[in-house]
Amino acid sequence: MKRNAIIATLAVLVGLLVWSACSSEWDDHYGRRSDLSTRCLMDIIEADGQLSTFSQALKQTGIDSVLRSDQTYTVWAPTDEALATLDLTDAAAVQRLVMNHVARFSNPTSTAGSVVMLNGKSMRYTSAMAFNEATIDEANIVAVNGLLHKLSAQIPYRYNLRELMDADGRFKELSAFVARFDQRVYDERRSTSYDSVFVDYNALLQDVKYGVGDLADEDSLFTMILPTDAVWQAELERISSAFAPYNADAVAADSIRRVQAAQALLGGLTFRGIVDATADSLVTITGKVIKPAKDYLEGYERIEASNGIIYVAATSLNRNDAGVWRHVLLTEAEDLDSRVAMAGSNCYVRNTDASSLVQGVSENSYLEVSSGNVDGGSTFYVANALATKYDVYVDFVNPIVDGENVAAERTKVTFQLMYRGANGRSTAMNQNTPTEITGVDADGARLPDIISVRAFEAVELPVSDCYDGMWLADPAHAALDMTPTTTLRVQTRVTAADARNGYVRKFRIDRVRLVPVTD
Amino acid sequence: MNTMKCHITFLLLVCSAMMAAAQRFDKLTSGQADSTLAMVRERPSSADFVTVRGRVVRVATGEGFAGASITSAELRASAMTDDDGRFEIRLPSTTRQAHVGTGVLLEVTAPGCVGQVVAVQGRTDILVRLLDAIDDSTPSELNLRITGPLRATRQSGQPGSGETYFVRGLQSINLSSQPLFVVDGAVWQMQEDAHTSVAGYTDNPLSLIDPDDIESIDVMRDGTAIWGAKGAAGVVMIRTRRAKDMATRIEANLSMGFVTPYSSPTMMQAEAYTRYATDVMRGMKAEERGALHFTQNDPSRSYYWDTHQQTDWISEVNRTGFMQQYGINVAGGDDVALYRFSLGYGKNEGNVDGTSFGRLNVRFNSDIHLTERLFLAADIAYAQTMSRVNIDGLDDVHNPAYLAMVKSPLYGPWQHNLSGQETNRMNDTDELGVGNPIALTGDNLPDIDRYRFNLNLRPSYAFTDRLKLNATLGFSWDKTAEDLFLPDHGVADMPLHNAQGEVYATALNTVSNLMARQSTLSAEGRLDWAVLKDYRHALDLVAGGRFYNTYYKWNSGLGYNTGSDFMRALSNTNSSLRWIDGESDKERDAAWFLTADYAFLKRYSVGLGLELATSSRYGRKAGGVDLFGVSWSVNPSLQAAWLITGERWMQRLRAVNTVWR
């Protein structure tokens, strides 16, 4: 009995010993380290006498509640001396300052790679004790919800392209034009049945198909030519005469004209990435090809933005009208949507390849139009005509394409150009002198593969018939009829006598070209 | 050496049992004193009673205690001691003797003490001193009793969950390493190859036995001599309590307990978690980060309150579990039959909310002396267990305990409305894809019910005290029913993979049912002949036959996607995502055996055995001996043992002496 009692007591004592030893070991392992801070970022900043201005700025912008919350942030706080020039009453400047000095996540001075600040700009530690060129006085101050670094200078604010355009006073006109397209749009994807989320959206910049580039996006790189107000106005004046849409309301027509001209000009100013000025050709974001590219970026002041390079056109703008807005209007004859056959005519789309007797047919296909006993032909629509002078060319394919035996085939054609007049009604221009189309000349020598015939010379179109990117981007316009009002009719003119003489009512047409006439 | 000692112990046990039984029979038949017989034949009149008084004390303390019983089987008298140890027993006197019979013997027994037989010898005031017993013969848990030969590995912490037992380590000859469990001489079905629909839970047929009903548990290292090939992995023999004497004892047990909720080491709470998460999310894209609602700190947002909680998930699924056990048993009888009836009910609640294990058991054990030589032990028992368990294991979709450990404290179990008040609607899977643990507790826990009915008949006929014929007939019927429904709302969707690892469907909710039945008949007959039995030599011969027939059948159905959490039947599941499975297993074994065991000086023993066994698992052309159209295996065995500690020279070794005590 007694022995049992001794054993029991010993067992209890040993158990107590083990249990107490166990629990303290676990607590050390799982307990909170005593050397960790328990103060939040905002408390540390407020308590620090050198950061009083910054602390005030944080309170003004409301970021102080963010720095008190349970999410991890890093703050690079400039000391009061560094912020001596800050005007606390300028709300926008304070906002820019604060958003430029706070980032998410823990970013100690050892962080490699880029750090994204709250305003989206990327920065990095340029040296062991400098962040984005600003020297760090005291680094890696640990708070319970992040890190604090004290800077002896402000982090320079690098504008992005949009901000530069808006903040720099030289580009007010362009800035105002871009700002016209700012909208607040309902974001369906992020909204729930209780919460509606709205985002800022600018169709001119951000539209996927027709936008000139999201200039405010910190994650992208752009190159942009920014004309100052005077240059912009001058260029607009110069080209806006070509954009003269017909509208019964003259005021509306005028405003459409301005918008179309501005968009056309803007289309040649933005490029993706950092462009290589030594390249042969450059392609803008909207797809305009600038060729030759040499000198296109010459003579400009170069400014670095946070998301690209700006070339400031202060005195004049290097022009490339043919690439930017005054395009050659091409209508491929084989394109079904841009032609209507005349009554009694048969149209066939033919293709060529490397073994054809005719080479150089555009798109390797052409249209063969033929008719029986009546003169036939086809009408072709010319899209995007501007109110400028054009030479109208029609490219015919040498009949030899169908074989050596038909090389001498001949036909006669006439042309009719229809376009809209200033009063809105169609005007016709006729070329009634028949033009002979044949594959061999009088001596039997073979004529070129593509026979270019100038149907009309220097036709001045009174109104333009084009759609700008923003009009096309509007989903309400998709269903509207966009048939071009400028048409060219190519018709055979073969009399009965001609027919007996060997003329056929058949021609092969590759395309219709309206080439702008440069004075 | 342990094995040999076990064999010797067993042999000695058998021998001593036989000797004791023989002694009992001898007493009845030969009669120590004619007067005793005479007294039995005479009917005592009510006027002739003599009261014998006395006191029962413990040797160690010298103090009396209550609960000791004093009985005289021949005179059909019994008494119990009071708190001070005093008793009074009324014995009938006869006209033949002046004093109460000199030959009257009183048996004195007490729990925890070694019983004594005291002769009255005319005394009217008797002092009985009892020694404490070394072993307490009422085990409460299997594990507490078994050390050494049996190793048990607990499957899980859930109440009523099973264990895996190893007596001889891992082996594969029997397709199972588990020992054979024998209760009162009949095989106790453990259903090792049973199918279960609840992952991580191992059913435990031993839970159908009430521990209060267990008298003793013995482990045999090798039971092939008695049980054939089934006993090759060891045999655990459980004997249930039977009435020991004619005194009527009523025992009522009531026990209650509770288990406190488990806790975890201190983990990150909501603030620390948010700080940590918003730091390590730097690798994510900004839209993905913004899409996680817990990063938005605007309280006017509709999702703010649901993602800015401070939930302690472990305490949400965890609770104090109460345990209660009630039992009543009545034992007693007369010189013809002794009986013990026990009724028990217990319910243990587990820590995970809603889990519980309940058992209801009824048992009636009787020992009937039909004639002087013919003895029948008849046992009837019925037990049923009702369990509710949670799916266990590292399952991050279906295990509520695991989910409670991994779920972020920012989310809560119940939805919040726009003003921040908690509603009674359960939250679904959170934005990180982790399900809601409380959806898997409570009513959505699987139900597992087992029912078992046993009938054991063990007649034995003693030709002489050395020649006995024993038979055992055991019937058992078993049924298991399992029901499982895992809802869609609150549980993460689980992709289903085919053999190539591609996902072919997504399981939204799950229905699973299982029904299993087993019926077993085992019969054994043996003839025991103790040819030589004295101090020097002991020779026992046993011959017998054994028959075993069992039929086990289970049906189970598993289906997914009933379309709604209100439709819980298997027939509502998607017909292309439904599998019905089943198995039926019949086994029939028979054996003839003959063993001879010789022991010299109780220290050296040698045994020979021969067994002819057949089984339905043998093929038609399994080899062996072909008799009566089936193949028989011939299993001879030879064993020898030497009880070293019984040697005289061992007694001088002091170091070995202390091992015993």
Q: Phi first, then psi: what are they for A373, rounded to 5°?
A: -90, -10
Query: CB distance B275–A145 less than 8 Å?
Result: yes
Q: Rounded to whole angstroms, how far apart are CA atoms A277 and B455?
A: 101
Chain B positions touching A7 (Cβ under 8 A) are: none
Predicted confidence band of residue B12 (pLDDT cuts 50, 70, 90): low
Q: Does the pLDDT at position B144 exceed 60?
A: no
- Chain A's closest residue to B266, CA to CA, is A30
Residue B548, C-beta contacts closer than 8 angstroms, at least 6 positions apart = B187, B520, B521, B522, B523, B587, B588, B589, B590
Nearest-CA distance B30 → chain A (Å) = 43
Chain B positions touching A193 (Cβ under 8 A) are: 302
Bigger pLDDT: B144 vs B491: B491
Q: Rounded to whole angstroms, how far apart are CA atoms A370 and A229?
A: 55
Task: Report whether B222 contacts B234 (CB < 8 A).
Answer: yes
Residue A16, C-beta contacts closer than 8 angstroms, at least 6 positions apart = none
- Chain B's closest residue to A147, CA to CA, is B279
Give strand pairing partners of A215: none
Chain B positions touching A145 (Cβ under 8 A) are: 275
Q: Does the pLDDT at position B137 exceed 60?
A: no
Tell me the per-residue pLDDT of B55-86, one tens digit each, with 9 for 90 and over. Answer: 999 887 888 888 888 888 676 788 888 888 89
Q: Which two tokens stand for residue B174?
A: 């029997």
Query: CB distance B303–A66 less than 8 Å?
Result: no
Tell me the per-residue pLDDT of B176-226, one tens digit each, with 9 for 90 and over. Answer: 678 888 898 888 888 776 777 787 777 778 888 888 888 888 887 777 767
Q: Rounded to whole angstroms, how far apart are CA atoms A506 and A376?
A: 8
Chain B positions touching A146 (Cβ under 8 A) are: 275
Interface of A with B in 121-180 (CB under 8 A): 144-146
Torsion angle defined by CA atoms of residues A253, A254, A260 and A264, in that order, rounded to the nearest 10 degrees: 140
Q: Rounded to whole angstroms, how far apart are CA atoms A510 and A350?
A: 10
Tell me the per-residue pLDDT of B584-614, one tens digit each, with 9 for 90 and over. Answer: 989 898 999 899 999 988 889 999 988 888 8
CA atoms within 13 A on the CB side of B208: 26
Q: What is the pLDDT of residue B47?
A: 55
For residue A402, the 8-state DSSP code is: G
The DSSP code sequence of B603-652 is TEEEEEEEEEEEETTS-TT-SSEEETTEEEEEEEEEEEEE-GGGSHHHHT
Task: Name which of B278, B279, B302 is nearest A192 (Cβ-Cβ).
Answer: B302
Average pLDDT over residues B455-479: 93
Tell me the per-residue pLDDT of B317-374, one tens digit each, with 9 for 90 and over. Answer: 989 999 999 999 999 998 899 999 999 999 999 889 999 999 999 999 999 999 988 9
Chain A positions touching B263 (Cβ under 8 A) are: none
**Which secondary structure element, helix H or strand E, spans residue A94, and what is its range?**
helix A91-101
**Chain B contacts to A (CB-CB under 8 A):** 60-61, 265-267, 270-272, 274-276, 278-279, 281-282, 290-291, 295, 297, 301-303, 418
Query: CB distance B274–A190 less than 8 Å?
Result: no
Amino acid at A287: G
Chain B CB within 8 Å of residue A446 CB: no
Q: Phi first, then psi: what are they for B609, rounded to 5°?
A: -145, 155
Query: CB distance B275–A30 less than 8 Å?
Result: no
Interface pTM, i.e. ipTM: 0.72
Amino acid at B264: S
Chain B CB within 8 Å of residue A67 CB: no
Nearest-CA distance A275 → chain B (Å) = 28
Give strand pairing partners of A72: none
For residue A325, the 8-state DSSP code is: T
Mutating which of A7, A25, A189, A195 best tests the B interface, going by the most B Cβ atoms within 10 A?
A195
Chain B CB within 8 Å of residue A19 CB: no
Predicted confidence band of residue B426 (pLDDT cuts 50, 70, 90): very high
Q: Which of B411, B414, B401 minimizes the C-alpha distance to B433?
A: B411
Q: Which two tokens stand for residue B412?
A: 């809560």
Q: What is the pLDDT of residue B18?
A: 55
Q: What is the pLDDT of residue B410?
A: 94
Cα→Cα distances A338→A314, A383, B313, B630, Å: 42, 8, 69, 94
Nearest-CA distance B607 → chain A (Å) = 41
Query: CB distance A105–B270 less than 8 Å?
Result: no
Chain B CB within 8 Å of residue A194 CB: yes
Query: CB distance A26–B265 less than 8 Å?
Result: yes
Q: Is B394 exposed, middle or buried (0-12, 13-18, 19+ CB in 10 A)?
A: exposed
Chain B positions touching A30 (Cβ under 8 A) are: 265-267
Q: What is the pLDDT of residue A264?
A: 93
Chain A positions touching B418 (Cβ under 8 A) are: 194
The DSSP code sequence of A447-492 is PPSEEEEEEEEEEE-SSBB---HHHHH-GGGTTS----SEEEEEEE
Alpha carbon A358 to chain centroid, angstroms: 39
Task: Report whether A106 contacts A76 (CB < 8 A).
Answer: no
Mutating which of B63, B132, B278 best tests the A interface, going by the most A Cβ atoms within 10 A?
B278
Chain B CB within 8 Å of residue A33 CB: no
Q: How many residues does chain A have?
A: 519
Q: Is A315 exposed, middle or buried (0-12, 13-18, 19+ CB in 10 A)?
A: exposed
Predicted confidence band of residue B628 (pLDDT cuts 50, 70, 90): confident
Chain A positions touching B416 (Cβ under 8 A) are: none
Q: Does the pLDDT at position B21 exceed 60?
A: no
Chain B CB within 8 Å of residue A430 CB: no
Establish, for the pair of chains A and B, how many residue pairs have beta carbons separated by less than 8 Å. Answer: 48
For residue B438, the 8-state DSSP code is: G
Tell me the per-residue pLDDT of B94-103, one tens digit each, with 9 for 90 and over. Answer: 544 444 555 6
Which stretches of A260-344 are assigned E, i.e. beta strand? 270-272, 282-283, 289-290, 301-305, 308-313, 329-332, 339-341
Query: CB distance B265–A192 less than 8 Å?
Result: no
Nearest-CA distance B18 → chain A (Å) = 35
The DSSP code sequence of A70-111 is SS-EEEEEEPTTTTTT--TT-HHHHHHHHHHHEEES---TT-
For residue B75, the 8-state DSSP code is: T
Task: Name which of B61, B266, B270 is nearest A31 (Cβ-Cβ).
Answer: B266
Amino acid at B232: A
Q: Is B614 exposed, middle or buried (0-12, 13-18, 19+ CB in 10 A)?
A: buried
Question: Which residues of chain A have a pLDDT value below 50?
Answer: none
Q: Phi first, then psi: what are they for A368, rounded to 5°?
A: -105, 120
Query: CB distance B274–A26 less than 8 Å?
Result: no
Give strand pairing partners of B256: B324
Q: Which two tokens stand for residue B252?
A: 């009522």
Chain B CB within 8 Å of residue A104 CB: yes
Query: CB distance A72–B270 less than 8 Å?
Result: no
Chain A positions touching B272 (Cβ under 8 A) are: 70
Average pLDDT over residues B500-505: 93
Chain A positions touching B278 (Cβ under 8 A) are: 70-72, 104-105
Q: What is the pLDDT of residue B29?
A: 42
Nearest-CA distance A307 → chain B (Å) = 18
**Which secondary structure element, helix H or strand E, spans residue B541, and what is its range?**
strand B537-560
In the block, tokens 């013919």 appear at B374
Tell me the per-residue pLDDT of B528-577, one tens digit each, with 9 for 90 and over. Answer: 999 888 878 889 999 999 999 999 999 999 999 999 999 999 999 999 99
Q: What is the mean pLDDT of chain B?
A: 82
| Ramachandran bin of B376, using left for φ above 0, alpha for ψ from -120 to 50, beta for the remaining angles | beta
Alpha helices in B326-464 (DSSP H): 400-406
Cα→Cα distances B78→B23, B51, B340, B366, Å: 22, 12, 17, 20
Q: Does the pLDDT at position B24 exceed 70?
A: no
Nearest-CA distance B154 → chain A (Å) = 23
